């Protein structure tokens, strides 16, 4: 249950932080769809890593 709360709390932070990167500048022209899919995958990967890190960190601090 605590991981669900962490996902909900950290999702806007990850979106906000990745919003500063110009993803379209990395990709070829006329490949906006692929850039958006990559952006979504990147958000979920970073979100997964961040939530697991925070969960483990809290677990170690409580131990």
How far is C-alpha 48 from the chain's CA centre?
A: 7
Write down the pLDDT at residue 7: 94
**Spatial separation of the C-alpha atoms in residues 10 and 29, rounded to whole Å:** 31
pLDDT computed for residue 25 by the predictor: 81
Which tokens hold the place of 9? 């709390």
The per-residue pLDDT for 48 is: 97
pLDDT tens digit at each of 63 positions of the chain: 688 999 999 999 999 999 888 877 888 888 888 888 999 999 999 999 999 999 999 888 887
Residue 1 corresponds to which tokens in the numbers above? 């249950």
Compute the Cα dihedral for 47, 60, 1, 8 and give only its sign.
negative
- Using CA atoms, how far residue 55 sits from 7, 47, 49, in Å, is 10, 12, 10
């Amino acid at each position: 249950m605590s991981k669900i709360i962490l996902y909900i709390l950290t999702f806007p932070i990850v979106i906000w932080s990745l919003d500063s990167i110009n993803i379209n500048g990395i990709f070829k022209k006329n490949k906006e769809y692929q850039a958006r899919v990559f952006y979504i995958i990147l958000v979920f990967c970073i979100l997964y890593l961040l939530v697991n890190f925070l969960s483990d960190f809290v677990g170690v601090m409580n131990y």
